[in-house]
Chain A
Amino acid sequence: MLSTLTASDWDRNKAAILLHRAGFGGTPQEIDFLAAISPAEAADSLLGPTKFIPPDPPAFLEESGTEEALKTERAKMNSLPDPAKADARREIAQYQRSTQGRQMTELRGWWLKQMAEPARATREKLALFLHGHFATSFEKVRSPHLLYQQNSLFREKGYGMWSDLVLGVAQDPAMLIYLDGAKSRAEAPNENFARELFELFTLGEGNYTEKDIQESARAFTGWGIGATNGKKAGLQRGAQPSFKILPKWHDSGAKTIFGKTGNFDGADVIRLTLAQDAAPRWIAQKLWRFYAGWPAPEPLLKELVKEWQSLKGEIRPFLMAMWTNPNFYDPVRAADRVKSPAEWLVGLCRQVGRPLPAPALSAHILNQLGQNLFEPPNVKGWDGGIAWINTASISRRYEYGSWLVEGTQGMQKLSGLNMVKMAGESGLLKMSLPEITPEGVVIPRGIKDIDPVEKQAAAEKMRETLSLPPAPVVGIVTSEERQSPEKLLAALSSRFLSGETIPEDLRARFQQAAGGKTPFTDAAVRKMVLAIVQSPLYQVT
């Protein structure tokens, strides 16, 4: 079994590390609270109740009328003669894309808001892990509704049994589209999902054969999606599809998978897969690596696997066991966990006590930093760790850090943004379906067709919405702490850093940033905050 930290090993630095790694960081008060209780109580309090209380869903789910309007327009389009038909088709497709883009921006902002909610942070962090693990991208799925649905699955089932989660994902419509399961039929089984299930989701490369993939692909046939009206199998444009078993598509012959032969279906494949020795090792290592920031060496991994097995793959208690294990706080590896862009953004906003930027800007920042939510780079998800850091992304972290600390007013900081595009993503400018007159004339109603004056006004409005005031510092430091650079740095590092030793040259860089004039003004305090945020040390936790 995994060893456990005793109360006497527990201190404020460890509490700070846990607060950041388990969720998205927080305020010194939250750290103090965790430091004052036992490590097990701290982990349990961060994990929160086992019972799941769903958040209010994003508003776009309630939008109605779009599907009917689209249907009517398509019918009109189909009766048009050729050149006009192509115009109408293009305009309708553009309308759909623009609607989806707006909904995705809302969805991204909505998720970030959940992450920034202290009582939800831990569950959301796990959902973020699962999103990267079972990577699924809007680029192919093209449905904000289905991506929200998958995201809800991670949130709701994340604390439960691993086997339920894997099964849920295998039957999730977004995944069925992303890895082509929805198109896989007995006559032509598609290997895409079976391969990634083994290679990336459950076992790791080298723990299965090509034959296992081919046979499993056959077993998964018949797991598809149907339009909610159930009339027509397969994906219907426009309708929200749901999981559906299609008996006619299923290959009911015998299959041999991992040495066992039978008339298996998808659920059997998952059962057989998770019974492989490689299965607990794979997920235990991935969870450890995500939360601790470095791979567990063999003796520790063995312990983790034993723990996982004794818990029968239940995730909440496993997280608890990891977080109360002394190795999780190994001081030698303390600076080896790089914050992901979402952790960085949400954490920084919480630390400086400001709300998240508007969804369009938050989404833009994360995309620029390499973590476009709902669009992971490929089915492997984000590599994480040092792969977050490169010459471009570190410059951008420093740049955005200055936006969030000093604000964007009176500067050209937002000047690189396409305000019209963002106004479209934010719903300030909405394109409509093209008008098709009884005479068969197609009148486009795209963003490009909006009156330039109106467009300019929306862009201006967008700029106002996106602009950020300087971070409030009144609540961050006391007047006593403004009296000397040492005191100010002590106060700020207890808020922004997790107790790492600050190298001498950095300490000098931080202290000099505030200038020499005491008591420090708000602007001077911000300068020191910014120096901390614009340092290599701030990027790890």
Chain B
Amino acid sequence: MNNHELKTRREFLRTGLLGGSLCWTLPAFLSRTMESLHAQADGALIQGVTGRDGNILVVLQLAGGNDGLNTVIPMGNDEYRKARPTLGLTDSSILKIEPQTGLHPSLSGLASAYQDGHLAIVQGVGYPNPNRSHFRSTEIWATAVDSDQSSTTGWIGRYFDNACSGCDASVGIAMASQLPQSFAASTPKGVLYQGASGAKKKASKKKGAAAKDADGSMMTMDDDEENGEAGGSIGMLNGPGNLGHLSALDFLERTEMDAKVSQQEIAKASTKAKNSVPYPGSRLGQNFAMVSRLIAGGMPTRIYYLSLGGFDTHTQQAGAHERLLKEMGDAVAAFLADLKAQGNLERVTLMTFSEFGRRVKENASGGTDHGAAAPLFLAGGGVKAGLLGQMPSLAPRDLFDGDVKYNTDFRSVYATVLEKHLGVKSELILKKPFPLIAAYG
């Protein structure tokens, strides 16, 4: 245990919330505290960035395997049209961003970010010997080792171990129901904030009686009815599954401590700031709104992790995929605008990823099956806008088992973000060197 941790624990004990209090009922648990703080924050003034001005990475997982080919689309491409007779998007509906490349029509938020110079698109991202199992491929992205290797730690966890060994657990915050596997570390770090449902936030945005009613009893049932999105059998992400050197009981004791410390920190930070742009009412939108407030409020967090599930579109893909991309694009666009207004855009990089793309050829159920390489997005003030990597060839002779071949290893993207944005030597974390991509100026 290092000094900083000891200090934190001492401070913590001194507050008397754990050590002396013996029967400590939490005054209110984390999320409820957050809910009342949201209300208070509405009245607070925007505060400038505090001294905690390190760079921040926000990771957005698109769980289930996002159809990359219908996200970043090759225009005027016969192979695309042949492979996607019903799911293919027409050139007229695609949001053109480069002469031969466009975005899905529901990604208008990202298209404007591209025009504003804040979005880079890395094409053909994958890894050698791709695996088509959701769980295994997610694990490969999380652990960042070769697909025939395994690791008990995740790449973000190794970043914590190497670069933040003195930090509090809140150096990583996941807005999810479980800590992501990529957070698994030798010395566990990372706290969880389970955001309230989108519906709740939607209601509190309405001014007036409904918003003031603390117990929500004024809300109608319909307000909570928005979760009927394309569920599919692949929803949320998987847990860390790695205890490091701890027993379950040790882990519990540690988590108990982290819960108390981070609750205080988060509560403090989120009251300091408010959002300066409206966010969509979706769960993802509200989670981004919260991340933005925590950043503005001066949290020392370096990694935020969010996820959006439902991308396993084996059947009836068109409508479901459109809704998911819209939810993502609108939330990201609001987040970027908010960061810009705060003056924090330069400090933040947002990176999306999905465990795999989907099969080039659509299936007979109006969907697509598990595939391989796909594009990912990098967004933020420091990011150099443009297309990176190559759009993989869709010609049948260039496919492997019906899937596109990768041309950029996802660990090159990680390495670039680690080196250029977080300022650490990527080889320590990724265990070997990877060529960097030109995503930063």
- Interface residues of A, Cβ cutoff 8 Å to B: 94, 97-98, 137, 139-140, 178-180, 183, 185, 187-188, 190-192, 195-196, 199-200, 205, 210, 293, 335-338, 370, 377-380, 383, 385-387, 389-396, 398-399, 402, 414-421, 424, 429, 431, 446-448, 456, 459, 508-510, 512-513, 527-528, 530-531, 534, 536-537, 539-540
Contact = CB atoms under 8 A, between A and B. Distances in A.
A391 B248 CA distance: 14
B363 A530 contact: no
Given A420-B220, A540-B249, A380 B238 contact: yes
Contact of A378 (B22, B23, B134): B134
B88 interface: no
A392 B241 contact: no
Given A383-B241, A395-B26, A421-B224, A539 B252 contact: yes
Interface string B251-270: 11101101100110000000
A429 to B, nearest CB: 8
Contact of B248 (A188, A338, A531): A338
A448 B221 contact: yes
26 contacts: A140-B232, A180-B315, A180-B365, A205-B136, A377-B236, A378-B309, A379-B234, A383-B178, A385-B248, A386-B239, A390-B255, A392-B194, A394-B255, A394-B259, A396-B29, A399-B26, A399-B28, A416-B35, A418-B217, A420-B221, A421-B221, A421-B224, A446-B221, A534-B23, A534-B25, A536-B252
B262 A192 contact: no
In the A-B complex, the 3 residue pairs with the smallest Cβ-Cβ separation, listed nearest first, are A188-B364, A387-B239, A139-B231
B225 to A, nearest CB: 6
A140 B259 contact: no
Given A370-B178, A394-B256, A419 B217 contact: yes
Interface in B389-420: 401
B191 interface: yes
B240 interface: yes
Given A389-B252, A536-B253, A183 B315 contact: yes
B59 interface: no
B248 A335 contact: yes
A417 B215 contact: yes
Contacts of A534: 23-25
B40 to A, nearest CB: 16
B149 interface: no
Q: How large is the interface on B (under 10, 10 to 19, 20 to 34, 35 or more residues)?
A: 35 or more
A495 to B, nearest CB: 17
B229 to A, nearest CB: 9
B192 A386 contact: no
Contact of A391 (B191, B231, B364): B191
Given A192-B314, A392-B31, A513-B22, A97 B215 contact: no
B251 A389 contact: yes
A391 B192 contact: yes
Contacts of B35: 416
A71 B233 CA distance: 29
Contact of B363 (A188, A386, A395, A456): A188
Given A199-B133, A377-B236, A534-B24, A386 B216 contact: no
Nearest to B131: A205
Nearest to A380: B135
A140 B233 contact: yes
A399 B25 contact: yes
A121 B23 CA distance: 31
Contact of A387 (B32, B178, B214, B253): B178
B256 A536 contact: yes
A71 B215 CA distance: 37
Contact of A399 (B29, B251, B256): B29
B37 interface: no
B408 to A, nearest CB: 24
A378 B236 contact: yes
Contacts of B30: 391-392, 395-396
